[in-house]
Amino acid sequence: MFSNFIYFIIVLLIYSTYQPSENTNFTALETLFLFVSLIIVFAGVTWVQFHRIEKQIATESFAKLDHKFHAALTRQSVMAIVLFSLDIYGLNLVSFTLNLPFLSMIPTLRALLFLGLFVFYLAIVWAFAHAPYQRLYTTDLSKESYIRSNISFSVPVLLPWLLLSGIADIINALPFQLPKRLLATTEGQVLYFMFFLMAIAMIGPLMIQKFWRCKPLETGYVRERIENVCRRADLEYANILYWPIFGGRMITAGVMGLVKKFRYILVTGAFIRFLEPEEIDAVIAHEIGHIKKKHLWFYLVFFVGYMLISYATFDLLVYAVLYAEPLYRFISRPGLNQTTVTSTIFSLAIIVIFLIYFRFIFGYFMRNFERQADTYVYALFDSAGPLISTLEKIVLTSGQPADRPNWHHYSIKKRIDYLKQCEADKTWISRHDWKIKKSIAVYLAGILFIGAMGYHLNYSEAGKRLNTHFFETIIQREIEKTPENSDLYSILGDLYYSNRNYAQTIEAYERAIRLKPDNPKALNNLAWLLATCEDKRFLDPGRALDLAQKAAELEKAPHILDTLAESYYVNGMYAAAVATEMQALDLVTMNRSYYKKQLKKFTDAANKARPMTAAIRYRPSLRS
């Protein structure tokens, strides 16, 4: 079940790293035909996979069939991800929705639409998997309940993203500029992310238990038993709830919630029906162990750690892709949609980082936290015998092999063996606690190192020099291939300007203009530098005005008109500056506050100049 979490996050990464292009690989009709055809093929292959397993139930051993079933389930779930990737990158389905106004205003709605498509693909897998699942594990769970349980258990993993992204969309859609400017900065994005991450971690369990349709466990012997164990452990919580996952037929329990007001203990119907009172105590003690050992807080730290790793490695990823000459040549090949190819490469790289992190690092801690929660039973009781017998019952009732490996839990056999070791020698408990402490220390040291490296690459002077050298190398490499490309010199000038290398900036822009005299970008940017440069040696108001007028004749864009207005201003032509800035303000839709500030500056200058002009014009003659 936990694998479904990974599938949904991978699909979210695939979608969020895709950069839509207006140019699609196929026409709308061709895309529709291919889209439907791929679904039919996927459904057919999935049906064959599970129908073959169902036919073998009477002849094959249970262990072999169990392996085949889970292998087929994993394989077809991965194929659903592949099919989703083809929809996004091959068929460019996102591009066909770009002109839908309501999706453009709230991009989260578009994302939900495509995530719903992936849920549909998984529903196809679960629908065909149900028949062999029902016969193999001798359950009367209906197909509808099986599909709904898989969806309802997995979808809450998207809750943090949904709230984070949805609220950001609403902020951007509202007419208030301050929150927009805050979200446009790196610091603002980090603060926004951390605030909502904590908020969701606190109150998320309240929403999840509603989504799962959990109901309070009625007053009675079982509830009293659970309450007594919680009192013994001094654990506070909001409620004890029925967990209706898979119709309540699984022997399992859970706990969620960082704070007591939103902390819930979850139990299934099978947990209550099949376990003895001592076994119920032992399982609840295991769940309490997760709280007492701060595992839920560490999971939050691990999530933030992944964000740090992604942030720190992004620049390295860019460098690796563009410095790898064969890969860069492939991206730059004529005939390829470079936006799509680049997005695909970055998506694959990010997904690989995600899989490595969660499969090996996060998975390592999940397995060891589960073992630590197992051994917490000894903090409340003298023996873990009831927990051992519970694990044995899970094997018998689920029909799953005790030694089946799992990326987020040790196998049931390994869990039982370790508890038996602890029964014989309690020092194994403290040994495991010490192992976890060392592992966390190593992890935190590694994260701090990676975070420092990311900060160094993005904010330190050395990092800025590295970025400049990197991009200059890439641009110069392209200039060698196409020396007559005016746009490349214009981009090179932008790079030099951002690093305040004004002499080289002017040289690059001049070269761009010589190659293409009607290049409005180069004309505008050079005009801005000559009008506003902080180094007075490079100021040339007259030339700035000449260049800005040429740029404005070629393109009536707000930023170009703003440059022309600034050029009028530095030449003392305040009325023209005001009139031109008003034209720019009429055209602009974003960041209007900047243009209003510019207009005020020009208006103030015009107002100050007017009385002086009037005084000169109407000064009485001194001669009689």
Q: What is the per-residue pLDDT across 498-525, written as a single tens digit (0 to 9) for each? A: 888 899 999 999 999 999 999 899 999 9
Task: Give the residue-averaged pLDDT of 577-584.
Answer: 91
Question: H-type helices in 533-591, by residue range?
Answer: 541-554, 558-570, 574-587
50-59, 179-188, 245-254, 336-345: the lowest-pLDDT one: 336-345
DSSP states along 64-78: HHHHHHHHHHHHHHH
Rounded to 5°, the CA angle 80-85-89 comes to 160
Name the residue among 492, 487, 568 with its Cα closest to residue 527: 568
Q: Residue 130 has what pLDDT?
A: 94
- CB contact burial 404-423 (16+ within 10 A = b; e otherwise): bebebbbbbebbbebbebbe
Task: Give the residue-averaged pLDDT of 327-354.
Answer: 63
Q: Residue 458 has what pLDDT?
A: 66
Task: Give the residue-averaged pLDDT of 41-65.
Answer: 92
DSSP states along 229-281: HHHHHT---SEEEE--GGGGTS--EEEE-SSGGG-EEEE-HHHHHHS-HHHHH
HSE (CB half, 13 Å, CA atoms) of 5?
15
116 is written with which tokens?
């719903």
Name the residue among 14, 105, 17 with its Cα closest to residue 339: 17
Distance separating alpha carbons of residues 391 and 408, to the nearest angstrom: 16
Do 232 and 282 contact (CB within 8 A), yes or no?
no
Q: Is 544-624 in CATH node 1.25.40.10?
A: yes
Task: Give the residue-averaged pLDDT of 557-578.
Answer: 92
Phi, psi of 176 (to 5 degrees): -85, 130
Q: Residue 204 has what pLDDT?
A: 87
Phi, psi of 314 (to 5 degrees): -65, -50
Residue 555: pLDDT band (50, 70, 90) is: confident
Residue 216, SS3?
Answer: strand
Cα distances (angstroms) measured from residue 116 to each of 24, 110, 122, 209: 22, 10, 10, 21
Q: Is the pLDDT of residue 178 over 70?
A: yes
Task: Give the residue-averaged pLDDT of 341-362.
Answer: 79
Q: Residue 95 has what pLDDT?
A: 85
Distance separating alpha carbons of residues 488 and 334, to the nearest angstrom: 17
Residue 482, SS3?
Answer: coil
Q: Is the pLDDT of residue 469 over 80?
A: no
Q: Residue 549 has what pLDDT?
A: 94
Distance separating alpha carbons of residues 324 and 189, to the nearest angstrom: 31
Question: 3-class secondary structure for 93-127?
Answer: HHHHHCCCHHHHHCHHHHHHHHHHHHHHHHHHHHH
Residue 553: pLDDT band (50, 70, 90) is: very high
Residue 215, SS3?
Answer: strand
Q: Is the pLDDT of residue 304 over 90?
A: no
Residue 369: pLDDT band (50, 70, 90) is: very high
Task: Give the residue-averaged pLDDT of 549-554.
Answer: 92
Q: How many CB atoms lie within 10 A of CB 480?
A: 9
Residue 462: pLDDT band (50, 70, 90) is: low
Q: Is the pLDDT of residue 619 over 60?
A: no
Angle between the N-to-C axes of helices 412-424 and 363-375, in degrees from 0 to 180, rounded to the nearest 10 = 40
Distance separating alpha carbons of residues 223 and 228, to the nearest angstrom: 9
Name the residue among 407, 118, 453, 185 with its Cα closest to residue 315: 453
Rounded to 5°, the CA angle 162-168-170 comes to 100
Q: Is the pLDDT of residue 391 over 80?
A: yes
Distance separating alpha carbons of residues 310 and 300, to the nearest angstrom: 16
Residue 382, SS3?
Answer: coil
Q: Is the pLDDT of residue 323 over 70?
A: no
Task: Give the residue-averaged pLDDT of 208-228.
Answer: 93
pLDDT tens by residue, 138-147: 888 889 989 9
Distance separating alpha carbons of residues 529 and 539, to the nearest angstrom: 7
Residue 616: pLDDT band (50, 70, 90) is: very low
Q: Residue 171 has what pLDDT?
A: 79
**Strand runs labelled E in 144-251:** 215-216, 239-242
Distance separating alpha carbons of residues 266 and 209, to the nearest angstrom: 9
Do 137 and 398 contact (CB within 8 A), yes or no?
yes
pTM over 0.85: no
126 is written with which tokens?
């679960």
Question: H-type helices in 381-516, by residue range?
Answer: 385-398, 412-424, 427-459, 461-481, 486-498, 502-515
The overall longest dimension of the chain from CA atoms, in Å, is 127
Chain region(s) in the chain for CATH 1.25.40.10: 544-624
In the predicted model, what is the mean pLDDT of the chain? 85
Task: Give the residue-averaged pLDDT of 98-111.
Answer: 80
Q: Is the pLDDT of residue 623 over 50?
A: no
Q: How many CB atoms lie within 10 A of CB 401?
A: 15
Do 79 and 160 contact (CB within 8 A), yes or no?
no
Task: Give the residue-averaged pLDDT of 273-302.
Answer: 94
243-252, 358-367, 458-467: the lowest-pLDDT one: 458-467
Distance separating alpha carbons of residues 13 and 314, to the nearest angstrom: 14
Task: Give the residue-averaged pLDDT of 129-144.
Answer: 88
Most trustworthy range by pLDDT among 3-7, 132-136, 179-183, 612-616 = 132-136
Sequence-distant (6+) residues with CB within 8 A of 300 are: 197, 201, 258
Do 293 and 372 contact (CB within 8 A), yes or no?
yes
Q: Residue 1 has what pLDDT?
A: 56
Percent of the chain past pLDDT 70, that is, above it, reads 89
Do 121 and 80 contact (CB within 8 A), yes or no?
yes
Q: Is the pLDDT of residue 287 over 90?
A: yes
Q: Is the pLDDT of residue 467 over 80?
A: no
Q: Which residue has the higher pLDDT, 1 or 171?
A: 171
Percent of the chain past pLDDT 90, that is, above it, reads 46
Task: Give the residue-averaged pLDDT of 9-16.
Answer: 86
Q: Is the alpha carbon torsion for 58, 60, 66, 69 positive or negative?
A: negative
